[in-house]
Amino acid sequence: MNRGDYIRKMATSSWKMKLFMLKNLPMAFLAGLRVIKIDKDSAQVSIPHKYLNKNPFKSMYFATQSMAAELSTGILAMAAVKDVSIPISMLVLEMKSSYYKKATTKIIFSCSDGQSIKNAINQAVIDGEGHTIRAKSKGINTDGQVVSEFEFTWTFKAKK
C-alpha cells in the first residue's frame, strides 16, 4: 500500500480520522466533519447542523461550511501528494463561495477534481515549477438541494 492509499484508508476510518483531526485539525474535529467517501477521483465530507456550527440565524455558519468544503478538496490533494515519490508543498491560494439556501440540516460536500489535482502535482514533479488547480466542492442538504458551492485554488510545488 502506497502512502496515498494509506491516507485514503485512514480518512474513512472513523476513529483514525478523528485522531488525525484532533491532532492536526482541531476545529474540524469540534465541528464534527467526517470523510464519508474518498477515492483517487473524488471525495465527500459531511458536516452536521449542530450547536457549535450554527450562527445567530439558526443556520450553519459559512465558515464551518467552508471548512468542510476545503477538506473535500484538501483530502484529495493530500493523498495525491503522498502518491508521488518526492516532497510536494501544497497551499490554498484563493477561495470563492456562493450560497443559495440556508443550511439547516447536515450538508455533504462533494469534490470530483481528483484527476485534475493529480495532473497538477505530476506536472510540478516533472518541471519543478509551481502549478495551480481550481477544485470545486458542492454542498447538498438532506433534501438534495444545493446549499453552497466553493472553489479553492490550490498550488503545488516540488520542494527543493
Residue 77 has pLDDT above 90, yes or no: yes
Q: Print the domain residue range for 149.
A: 3-158
Alpha-carbon 99 to chain mean position: 18
Q: What is the pLDDT of residue 69?
A: 98
Q: What percent of the chain has pLDDT over 70?
A: 99
Q: What is the pLDDT of residue 66?
A: 97
DSSP string, 7-34: HHHHHT-HHHHHHHHHHH-HHHHHHT-E
Residues 6+ apart with CB under 8 A from 26: none
Q: What is the pLDDT of residue 35?
A: 95
Q: What is the pTM of this model?
A: 0.93
**Rounded distance, CA 47 to CA 60, Å?**
9
> How many domains are contained in the chain?
1
Residues 6+ apart with CB under 8 A from 79: 4, 5, 7, 8, 11, 38, 40
Residue 160 has pLDDT above 70, yes or no: yes
* Structure-block grid coordinates of residue 128: 519543478
Q: What is the pLDDT of residue 3?
A: 74
In DSSP terms, which residues pair with 45 in a beta bridge?
35, 109
Mean residue pLDDT of the chain comes to 93
Q: What is the pLDDT of residue 101?
A: 95
Which of the four pLDDT bands, split at 50, 70 and 90, describes residue 1? low
**Rounded distance, CA 124 to CA 126, Å?**
6
**Rounded distance, CA 135 to CA 126, Å?**
21
Enclosing H/E stretch for 36:
strand 34-38
CATH assignment at residue 58: 3.10.129.10
* Alpha carbon distances (Å) from 135 to 72, 90, 117, 149, 153: 9, 13, 8, 11, 6
